[in-house]
Structure formats: C-alpha cells, structure tokens
Amino acid sequence: MTRTGENDHMIRLNNGVRMPALGFGVYRIAPEQTTAAVLAALEAGYRLIDTAAAYDNEREVGAAIRASGLPRSEIFVTSKLWPTDYGYAAARRAFDASLDRLGLEQVDMFLLHWPLPADFSQTLAAYRALEEELERGRVRAIGVCNHNAANLERLLAGASTVPAVNQVELHPFFTQTELVRTHRRLGIATQAWSPLGGVNVYDAAPGRARHVLQHPVIAGLAEKLGRTPGQIVLSWHIQQGHSAIPKTVHPARMAENLAALDFALSPDDMAAVSALDTGIRGGDDPQTVTAATYPVHIRR
C-alpha cells in the first residue's frame, strides 16, 4: 500500500484499487436513521461508506446510495461477512445476501469481520470464497478485520490473495504500532475502526469511559491549532497513511470530521498524540473471539 501522489487523501491498495482515506462508518446507526445519515454524509463529501451484515443497515445504505444521485463509481462501499457465515458455502451465500441487501451488482471491498482463531479453517474457507468473488469481479478488493500478526500469517499461508486491508481497533489510546509495522511489511493497508476512541465510551460502566477526545493533550492541540479534538485525532490517523472511518449521526460533525483533511500536524504534535498509547484495547481481544462471542442474527 502506498499513498498516491496525485491525491493525498486516497490510499492505493495492494491491487491498485484506490480507496478514500477518510470514510464514514455506520455501526450503531439504527436502520431507520441510516438512509438519512448516509445521504448527509455523501452530501458532506464522504465517498467511503463502511457497513457490515452485522450492522443490520445494508439495505438502508444501498437506498441512500441510490437516492444520492451520485454515480456508483464515485462511492466506495465496504461490507463485511459475519463469523456465523464462515465456511466456504455459507460465505458464498452470505456474500450474495449482502449484495442483495445493498442492491449492488458489485461491492468495492468485502472483509471478514473477525477471525475465528480456534477454528481458523472456517475463516480460511470463507476467505477463499471471497477470493472467488474477487476473480468474478463482484468485489474490487478483499480483506480482513481484527487479525493480529499471527492470524495474518495463517491466512497468508492458506490463501493466494494478500488482504488489501486489515481493519482494526486503532486510536490514540491503542496505536497498534507493531501490527501496523506488520501491515507495511505485507503490503496491507491499515484501516482504523473506532478512530475517535468510540469503543472506550459506548459500553463503558458509569465513570469508566476513557474519552480520547477529552484528553488534555488532544484538547491542548485543538486549542493551539484552532481545530477540534476530532480533527486532531483524524488528522493524526490520515498523516500516518491510515484509513479512518469515524461514525456520527450529526451532519455538523460529519463536516467537522471531514475537515481533518485540510491541515497537517507537525512531527512533534504527531508524536505527542502517539505518546498517548496505553496498549489497552477497548474492544474484545480478537484472539479470544468465537462464533458465539457476539450472538448477532443477520436479517435476510
């Protein structure tokens, strides 16, 4: 993965496909809110929408894309396969179902949502099904989420396509420096989920939330540079060459977050944000995930 010279805000994936660096995530947006939120995001200028079968809003994402009037080729759509649909045959059926729900003939990127480390043969079989869809041209790039270095190596040992992307929890409190180094070595683009640290807040017990955006270093940089805390954090992601997919339902924040592309942090300011790493993730450790960890029912 390399940054393209022609447009600094696009990431050139390892198969040559170009992906916007800053996208819009729709996890935890209720289906009835999703079409309006995605339409507002497209209007604000986002061109990457990140959904998943498990988010229960692929239909509404597809409706927004059609309602936007934008040419299909201008919008980069990512969706994901849920572990209960792993294994070759189940993955093929689930891929079809995702495209049906989205109402698309082709999706730009399709990712395995989690590895199943204790049952990796099923993970690999699902990935093989995605490789076939890639060959058929029904998806332009394939990849994974939440794979650590060991699971990436296991995947590469059994697959013929290097994942274009590994989408992982990554924010100033959990910077994943080692894993990012592995991605660079393997030619895999790093995409940050919970880029603003949302995962540390959503389900936190009362008084236990760890707010990235309220950290004094982030707030201080925002004050110093006349930017918002969200912009400081997103600029930090983009300047490292990562993709980030913040979620918000508020149009003002959509515009605010996108404006993170308009400025750069100095090397010292970048280092100050990176120094906030605690090494502690907010979400589940992917190594412990099984198909039963998240009992998600995928609406057909």
Ligand X SMILES: NC(=O)c1ccc[n+]([C@@H]2O[C@H](COP(=O)([O-])OP(=O)(O)OC[C@H]3O[C@@H](n4cnc5c(N)ncnc54)[C@H](OP(=O)(O)O)[C@@H]3O)[C@@H](O)[C@H]2O)c1
Q: Is 194 in the site for ligand X (CB under 6 A)?
A: yes
Residues 70 to 99: which contact ligand X by CB under 6 A? none
Which structure tokens are listed for 250?
């508020």
Pairing of strands 76-81, 107-112: parallel
Using rule CB under 6 A, residue 41 touches ligand X: no
CB of 136 or CB of 208, closer to ligand X: 208
Complex with ligand X: residue 87 or 229, whichever CB lies closer: 229
Pick the closest to residue 152 from 124, 191, 193 (CA basis). 124
Q: Which is nearer to ligand X, 104 or 196 (CB)?
A: 196
Q: Return the range that interacts with ligand X (CB under 6 A); candidates 101-109, 119-127, 246-254, 269-277.
A: 246-254
Q: Any idea what the Cα angle at residue 208 is, between residues 203 and 210, rounded to 5°?
A: 85
Q: Which residues are catalytic?
A: 55
Q: Choose one: 20-28, 60-68, 147-155, 287-295; the region binding ligand X (CB under 6 A).
A: 20-28
Q: What is the DSSP letter of 125?
A: H
Shortest spacing between CB 212 and ligand X, in angstroms? 8
Contact present, 13 and 165 (Cβ < 8 Å): yes
Closest CA to 235 of 213, 259, 253: 259
Q: Burial level of 262, CB count in 10 A (0-12/13-18/19+)? A: exposed
> How many whole angstroms separate alpha carbon 133 and alpha carbon 91?
10
138 versus 253: smaller Cβ distance to ligand X: 253
Query: Rounded to whole angstroms, what are the CA distances from 231 to 64, 94, 263?
Result: 26, 36, 9
Q: Which 3 state secondary structure label does DSSP give 25?
A: strand
Closer of 27 and 174 to ligand X (Cβ) = 27
Selected binder of ligand X within 20, 83, 115, 197 (CB under 6 A) = 197
For 227, the token pair is: 């930017």
Buried b (16+ CB within 10 A) or exposed e, 264-278: ebeeebbebbeebee
CB of 215: closest distance to ligand X in angstroms? Answer: 13
Q: How far is the CB of 6 from ligand X (least distance, A)?
A: 27
27 part of the interface to ligand X, by CB under 6 A = yes
167 binds ligand X (CB under 6 A): yes
Query: Judged by CB under 6 A, which of 245, 258, 272, 289 binds ligand X?
Result: 245
Residue 243 found at the interface with ligand X (CB under 6 A): no
Site for ligand X contains 253 (CB under 6 A): yes
CA-CA distance, 149 to 106, in Å (whole number)? 29
230 binds ligand X (CB under 6 A): yes
Using CB under 6 A, count the residues that bind ligand X: 28
Instruction: With CA atoms as reference, report the closest residue to 133 among 122, 145, 142.
Output: 142
Cα torsion through 33, 259, 256, 171, rounded to 10: 80
Task: Considering the complex, state which of residue 2 and residue 214 has its C-beta at the smaller distance from ligand X.
Answer: 214
Q: How far from 80 is each of 41, 83, 157, 202, 277, CA to CA, in Å? A: 20, 10, 22, 21, 28
**Position among 22, 154, 198, 215 found at the interface with ligand X (CB under 6 A):** 198
**Binding characters for ligand X, 112-131, by CB under 6 A (x = yes):** -x------------------
Rounded to a whole number of angstroms, the minimum distance from the CB of residue 5 to ligand X is 28
Residues at the interface with ligand X (CB under 6 A): 25-28, 50, 113, 145-146, 167, 193-199, 213, 228, 230, 245-250, 253, 256-257
